[in-house]
Amino acid sequence: MKDFINKLYRNHSLIYKGLLFICTTFLIVYLFPKSGKFKYNFERGKPWQSENLQAPFDFAIKKTDAEITSEKKELVSNTPLYFNLDKAVRNNVEAAYDSQFKNTFSDSLSNQLSSNLYKVGKNIISELYKFGILNENYDFPDDRSISILDGRENIKDGFFSNLIKQDAVSPVIDKILSDNKYTAYKTDFVALFFDIIEPNLTFNKSFTDKVLEDEFAKIAYTRGSIAEQTLIVSKGEVVDDEKYQILKSLQSEYESQVWNKTNYIWVLFAYTLLVALALLMLLLFLRKYRVSVFENNTKVTFIFFNISLLIFITTLVVNYNSKYIYVVPICILPLVFKAFFDARLGLFAHVLTVLLLGFIVPNSYEYMFLQIIAGIVTILTVSELYKRANLFISVGQITLIYIIAYFAFFVIHEGSVKELNWETFIWFILCGLATLFVQPLIYAYEKLFGLVSDVSLLELSDTNSKLLKELSNKAPGTFHHSLNVANLAESSANEIGANAMLVRVGALYHDIGKMKNPTYFTENQSTGINPHDELSYKESARIIVDHVINGIEIARKNNLPDRVIDFIRTHHGTSVVYYFYAQEKKDFPDVDKVDFSYPGPKPFSKETAILMMCDSIEAASKSLKEPTSTKIEAFVENIINKQIEEGQFLNANITFKEIQSIKKVLKYKLANIYHLRIEYPE
């Protein structure tokens, strides 16, 4: 049991990656659409590329969205509007008219005239309430049919134009008075009816909507059917509108049947295999080409998290409305991975993610082509992400590529630009603007996952930062030495294609441990007094060696990233404090070399190896007397060759060719520092 537990502990990193791999696979499969995948690709107006296709089973031909929409519009125009009638209103109006008529018209009128005017008023009421007066002005077409309800009983049918709007009462009064030649009494009638006329019709929206829903329910969403073994399309035949709709109907029926029948588990299993295969390729890529990333569980988790997050967001958008699919800023993925890792890893992960998204999005080939091209452009154009102008320029280029590629696909599909949907270009522009969110996202990821990007390195390289200011004040000689080493290391890194920004920052902070005992280091001894004169050689060596440990402690207190602390740990490797070791050996020949050695570890990357070389060269160069080109060449060769002999670079992925290039840079830089002239022959 103990051996089993020990074995688990030794392999806990691989076990974690296995669990992460399984969880991510199942999460992505869960997000996938619950349908099978039709095995044929086809486009309207293009030749059928596969063999002759016969119907595998009986299926109905679905109507197009345009046909369904047209039928619904027709039903809406033919379905009557229902209005509720309040019968009591007319009775009240007639009663009020009888009582108000005598008060309105003078008693001096003759009986005949008064009787005639009374009848005219009755005619006005009859005309107004023939169908009824609306309680508000509704916006419906005049030719829309209507039905008037008394309770649930339909008592009258007509058109919306038959109903009197409240602002149409006066024209009705005018017309009847004009027809009866009593226009002289218009003012009196208007004043009379203004006080007594009331609306008696109310639109019954709920009942109208219910009737409309019942009519919608009767719509047939299919037109005709295809029998099993019927030839649908022949190889090379152009897929016209009719055949396209038949093929879409077959695709829909096929995908529905595949997912809902007994082979549900098989389809799920197949999806799982494909997703697992894609993620396995990513892990194998990391294992073979990015070992440092593969061995870091936090970084592997970060990669899998970003892939899952993009698939999740894309799924949400597709489920809401697939026309917004291009708003999702997929190019953020290669941007983020390039910022924290490198371009090759960013592009590889981006391509795998887009391939997985092909299962989710409509028009998968077009989508994958656009996104892969955009990802390649992202990797090629985005450099020095910490420069804001570069990001804006790159986002503009990415957006332009999206628009050009989409335009080309549309012309290929449709054969013209007449029906080009310009709205899609807006989605591409929004996608570009969303891509700018990568800057705050990178900052958030740095805090959440403890990663370091070039943006953070740029901030750390500022010599006005608190820690470097403190180094400048407490150990000015060390600070000056660090600046010189940073310049040498940056030039060397540029020469061999290493991370120049990272090695510069590492050089600036590599000796911060000397702040604890600054006067014990020669570059800070300005008074001529050497405190080592009062110490034993072993004690002096211990103080010198401790500047590495002290530097790590100071760095952790100031929250420096681990990638920077690595430079502090490795810049002396396991080398020996040779001066004090040699002095001690004179008195004690059997002295233990370990007591005078740095704790290590040895440099384990190109950048840390570069720093070790540049640190040793810069520090030792102060001892050069009357330097010449010959002396400098021998000096650089001796120091770096000694480090190679001691095996200091065995753990670093640096080649002899790269070391030779670094030597050339250091010789050239030292020659410039000492202002050497050409040596003329005597």
Distance CA 406, CA 387 (A): 29
Model confidence band, residue 300 (pLDDT cutoffs 50, 70, 90)? very high
User: What DSSP string describes 107-149?
Assistant: TTS-HHHHHHHHHHHHHHHHHHTTT-BBSS-----TT-EEEEE
Model confidence band, residue 260 (pLDDT cutoffs 50, 70, 90)? low
- Residue 290 has a pLDDT of 87
- Residue 26 has a pLDDT of 93
Higher pLDDT, 579 or 486: 486
Distance CA 638, CA 508 (A): 25
- Mean pLDDT computed over every residue of the chain: 85
182 and 209 share one domain: yes
Q: Which whole number is the average pLDDT over 457-465?
A: 87
Within a domain: residue 679?
Answer: no
277 and 408 share one domain: yes
Answer whether residue 258 shows pLDDT above 60: no
Q: Which whole number is the average pLDDT over 599-615?
A: 93
- Residue 259 has a pLDDT of 54
Within a domain: residue 589?
Answer: yes
Within a domain: residue 137?
Answer: yes
- Total domains in the chain come to 4
541 and 649 share one domain: yes
433 and 507 share one domain: no
User: What DSSP string describes 285-308?
Assistant: HHHHH-HHHHT-HHHHHHHHHHHH
Convert the pLDDT of each residue in 32-81 to its tens digit.
876 556 666 777 777 776 778 888 777 888 888 888 888 888 888 888 98
Distance CA 258, CA 637 (A): 71
User: What DSSP string describes 605-669?
Assistant: SHHHHHHHHHHHHHHHGGG-SS--HHHHHHHHHHHHHHHHHTTTTTTS---HHHHHHHHHHHHHH
581 and 656 share one domain: yes
Question: Which has the minimum average pLDDT: 231-240, 542-551, 591-600?
Answer: 231-240
Nearest to 67 by CA among 253, 223, 240, 209: 223
278 and 403 share one domain: yes
- For the chain, what percent of residues have pLDDT higher than 90? 31
185 and 50 share one domain: no
Answer whether residue 389 shows pLDDT above 80: no
Distance CA 28, CA 541 (A): 57
Residue 100 is which amino acid?
Answer: Q
Within a domain: residue 286?
Answer: yes
Q: Which whole number is the average pLDDT over 414-421?
A: 70
Convert the pLDDT of each residue in 161-181 to its tens digit.
888 888 888 888 888 878 777
Residue 115: Cβ-neighbour burial (10 angstroms; 0-12, 13-18, 19+):
exposed
Distance CA 603, CA 608 (A): 5
Within a domain: residue 678?
Answer: no
Domain that holds residue 423: 2-26+264-449
Residue 651: Cβ-neighbour burial (10 angstroms; 0-12, 13-18, 19+):
middle
SS (H, E, C) 225-250: EECCCCEEECCCCECCHHHHHHHHHH
369 and 248 share one domain: no
Answer whether residue 676 shows pLDDT above 70: no
406 and 513 share one domain: no
Question: In the beta sheet, which residues pair with residue 222?
Answer: 62
Within a domain: residue 682?
Answer: no
Residue 555: Cβ-neighbour burial (10 angstroms; 0-12, 13-18, 19+):
buried
150 and 225 share one domain: no
Higher pLDDT, 466 or 249: 466
Model confidence band, residue 565 (pLDDT cutoffs 50, 70, 90)? very high
CATH of residue 641's domain is: 1.10.3210
537 and 669 share one domain: yes
Distances 551 to 317, 492, 548, 570, 640 between C-alpha atoms, Å: 49, 24, 5, 11, 24
Answer whether residue 356 shows pLDDT above 50: yes
Q: Which of 260, 291, 323 is the last residue of a domain?
A: 260
Higher pLDDT, 125 or 547: 547
Model confidence, pTM: 0.64
104 and 77 share one domain: yes
Distance CA 130, CA 308 (A): 67
Question: In the beta sheet, which residues pair with residue 157?
Answer: 147
- Residue 680 has a pLDDT of 47
Question: Which has the minimum average pLDDT: 386-390, 522-526, 614-618?
Answer: 386-390
